[in-house]
């Protein structure tokens, strides 16, 4: 299986963001012929007011981005892990991943479990819970014989979730993100490598990059694919674009046989 991770600079123009995502997916498919394309977190809308974010939330399967990604997957005959988008749910929303197969059918849905309520170095505060609800379900889906686990951005800091994904059979864990510049420069690759090593899985992380919210907030970028030994095998440079790598589940199985850490786990 070949995976492409897409790197975007989404803004508060939903129609343009969807068009940009379509163009980037088309380019990745034309150049690298991946089996799975991964979009970043909140690829449909970044920045704006609380009211505008709610107004641009989707109801599934009726939303504009949902329909566009479903149609694109069917047109290009490619599987699309559609980053995340705001899913309308009353006064608040879920931060939700939808996965489409080559026929454009939804095959998985994951709602972000860990909400980003922090103050990062530099004084910026992020209160995701102001507009978002937390999900509850740990989601692994099967894609053409490969089991794929779902996580989103801040989930990366919670290894217990990744262990649950591994225990449910995940061989690849996909993480759409909008990691801040302040935390990303010090923690992004280190955390991704740690999660890959701990679970002995591939980790494919697609990211937002550059400024959002009228320049007030910056994302780190560096969309990465990490192998089960913790080695970075694809890294998107500092620009909008994509990076691709082949996933060798046989290699993951070999590592799990030779170092069976899952069998050695002791619950305290």
User: Which residues belong to the active site?
Assistant: 41, 112, 153
The residues pairing with 58 across neighbouring beta strands, listed in sequence order, are: 87
Please name which of 73, 88, 40, 83 lies closest in space to residue 210, comparing C-alpha atoms. Answer: 40
Instruction: Count how many Cα atoms sit within 13 Å of the Cα of residue 60 in the half-sphere of its side chain.
Output: 24
Is 133 in contact with 94 (CB distance < 8 Å)? yes
Helices of type H across 135-188: 159-167, 181-183
At a CB cut-off of 8 Å and minimum separation 6, what does 107 contact? 99, 100, 101, 141, 143
Q: What phi, psi does 106 have (nearest 5°)?
A: -70, 125
């Amino acid at each position: 299986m070949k995976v492409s991770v897409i790197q975007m600079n989404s803004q508060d123009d939903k129609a343009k963001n969807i068009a940009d995502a379509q163009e980037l997916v088309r380019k990745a498919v034309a150049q690298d012929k991946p089996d799975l394309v991964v979009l970043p977190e909140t690829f449909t809308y970044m920045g704006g007011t609380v009211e505008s974010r709610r107004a641009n939330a989707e109801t599934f399967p009726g939303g504009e981005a949902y329909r566009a990604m479903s149609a694109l997957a069917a047109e290009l005959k490619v599987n699309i892990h559609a980053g995340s988008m705001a899913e309308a749910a009353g006064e608040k929303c879920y931060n939700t991943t939808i996965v489409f197969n080559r026929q454009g059918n939804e095959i998985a849905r994951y709602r972000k479990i860990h909400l980003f309520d922090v103050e990062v170095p530099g004084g910026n505060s992020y209160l995701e819970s102001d507009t978002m609800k937390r999900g509850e379900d740990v989601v692994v889906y099967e894609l053409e014989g490969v089991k794929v686990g779902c996580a989103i951005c801040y989930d990366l800091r919670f290894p217990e979730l990744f262990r649950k994904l591994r225990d449910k059979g995940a061989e690849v864990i996909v993480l759409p993100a909008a990691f801040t510049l302040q935390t990303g420069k010090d923690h992004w690759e280190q955390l991704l490598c740690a999660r890959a090593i701990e679970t002995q899985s591939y980790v494919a992380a697609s990211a937002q990059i550059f400024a959002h919210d009228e320049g007030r907030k910056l994302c780190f970028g560096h969309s990465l694919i990490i192998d089960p030994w913790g080695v970075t095998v694809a890294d998107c440079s500092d620009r909008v674009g994509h990076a691709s790598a082949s996933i060798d589940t046989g290699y993951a199985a070999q590592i799990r046989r030779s170092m069976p850490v899952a069998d050695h786990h002791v619950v305290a």
